[in-house]
């Protein structure tokens, strides 16, 4: 034997780090975000319609109650940011991009080495951009302001990208 040491295997060359692509500009990112908003709104509408139908059938009361109406109104006005957070976070941590980003040919990567996002990066990025939108109107203005921070960055990173150490790059 070899004195209790593990046998040496073949040596493999180090895998070079991938060079990040070109940063995606404001127009591409805005287009992707608008597509994502449209898809999220369609999903929310279908969910609300399905749930309203189920409640009407299960309670045998098609008109509902005032309490039910208040819950739906609350969710309609204050649930948007939470919906967007889960949409953004789940797609980023799974594929590195949302459906809108896939359609326009961009993705989100780790700014340090061009790798896939970690769980923490996806949560931080999605939280900073999406959760302010829980506040009707004002939240959208806050998120737009944070996103426009990319216009002052040499790598075109918005505030949520800098906080999460991410970079949005073109894939085509």
Looking at per-residue pLDDT, the higher value among 128 and 70 belongs to 128
Residue 9 lies in a domain: no
Residue 15 lies in a domain: no
Total number of domains in the chain: 1
Lowest mean pLDDT among 25-34, 84-93, 137-146: 137-146
Residue 4 lies in a domain: no
Residue 87 lies in a domain: yes
Place of tokens 């500009």: 25
Q: Is the pLDDT assigned to residue 109 strictly greater than 80?
A: yes
Residue 14 lies in a domain: no
The pLDDT, as a whole number, for residue 15 is 47
- Model pLDDT for residues 4-25, shown as the tens digit of each residue: 555 565 555 554 455 667 899 9
Residue 6 lies in a domain: no
Residue 45: CB atoms within 10 A of its CB come to 10
* CA 97 – CA 167 distance, rounded (Å): 11
Residue 96 lies in a domain: yes
The whole-angstrom distance between residue 70's C-alpha and the CA centroid of its chain comes to 28
* Cβ(161)–Cβ(111) below 8 Å: yes
Q: Which domain holds residue 107?
A: 26-170
Three-state DSSP state, 171 = coil
- Model pLDDT for residues 113-133, shown as the tens digit of each residue: 888 999 999 999 999 999 999
- Model pLDDT for residues 31-63, shown as the tens digit of each residue: 999 999 999 999 988 988 888 778 777 777 666
Q: What are phi and psi of 97, to 5 degrees?
A: -165, 155
């Amino acid at each position: 034997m070899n004195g209790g040491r593990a046998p040496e295997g073949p040596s493999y060359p180090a895998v070079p780090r991938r060079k990040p692509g070109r940063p995606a500009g404001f127009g591409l990112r805005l287009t992707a975000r608008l597509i994502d908003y449209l898809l999220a709104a369609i999903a929310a509408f279908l969910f609300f319609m399905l749930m309203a139908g189920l409640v009407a059938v299960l309670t045998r009361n098609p008109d509902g109650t005032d309490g039910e109406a208040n819950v739906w109104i609350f969710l309609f006005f204050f649930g948007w940011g939470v919906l967007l957070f889960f949409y953004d976070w789940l797609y980023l941590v799974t594929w590195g991009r949302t459906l809108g980003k896939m359609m326009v040919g961009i993705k989100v990567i780790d700014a340090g080495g061009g790798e896939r996002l970690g769980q923490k990066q996806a949560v931080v990025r999605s939280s900073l951009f999406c959760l302010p939108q829980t506040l009707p109107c004002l939240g959208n203005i806050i998120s737009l302001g944070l996103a426009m921070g990319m216009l002052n960055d040499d790598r075109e990173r918005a505030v949520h990208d800098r906080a999460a150490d991410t970079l949005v790059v073109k894939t085509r």
